[in-house]
């Protein structure tokens, strides 16, 4: 097995004896619980479920596990200008469909960004990854407090107190 760490300190690429590449990721218990919940056979039978398939869970102690996922193309690495309009439309519909599915099942991802969306090599099927910040919500009355997400991807009304105060004052 070949093993090469990536820029992210919890992710590496591995290759088996058949030269198939896959991603290894260290996840905490909460993220693994979300992945298991969304990977229930009944959930997976719904075509709107865009969770990345994973396998081979190995516990490593301290509430951490290693999961293996197929190596897919990060949306960040695809030059969007190279896609046909129909492909862009298809991918956008799948993003909306995938997050609608999560919300219908009480999952708030909390870190929507292009780095957390991967696509198969045919550019046909899109997957959502990284449930490390996800929260279970029971309905619109549930409220989460504190900063969540990646700073550059957070809406200005969430991150900027002056922006929020200006909206309230108007």
**Catalytic positions, written as ranges:** 111
Q: What is the pairing mode between strands 55-61 and 21-28?
A: unpaired
Nearest 5°: CA angle at 16, between 11 and 118?
45
- Which string of b and e fits 96-130 if b means at least 16 CB within 10 Å? eebbebbeebebbbebbeebbbbbeeebeebbbbb
Q: Which H or E element spans position 118?
A: strand 117-119
Residue 7's contacts (CB-CB under 8 Å, 6 or more residues apart) are: none
Q: What is the DSSP string of 58-74?
A: EEEETTEEEEEEE--EE
- Give dist(CA 116, CA 64) in Å, integer: 20
């Amino acid at each position: 097995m070949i093993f090469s760490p990536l820029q992210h300190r919890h992710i590496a690429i591995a290759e088996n004896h058949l030269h198939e590449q896959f991603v290894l990721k260290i996840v905490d218990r909460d993220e693994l619980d979300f992945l298991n919940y969304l990977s229930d056979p009944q959930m997976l039978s719904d075509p709107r479920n865009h969770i990345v398939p994973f396998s081979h869970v190995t516990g490593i102690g301290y509430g951490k596990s290693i999961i293996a996922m197929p190596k897919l193309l990060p949306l960040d690495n695809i030059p969007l200008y190279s896609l046909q309009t129909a492909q862009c439309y298809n991918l956008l519909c799948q993003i909306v469909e995938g997050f609608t599915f999560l919300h219908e099942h009480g999952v708030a991802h909390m870190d929507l960004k292009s780095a957390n969306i991967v696509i198969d090599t045919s550019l046909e099927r899109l997957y959502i990854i990284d449930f490390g910040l996800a929260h279970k919500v029971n309905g619109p009355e549930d409220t989460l407090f504190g900063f969540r997400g990646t700073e550059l991807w957070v809406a200005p009304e969430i991150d900027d107190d002056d922006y929020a105060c200006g909206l309230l004052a108007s």
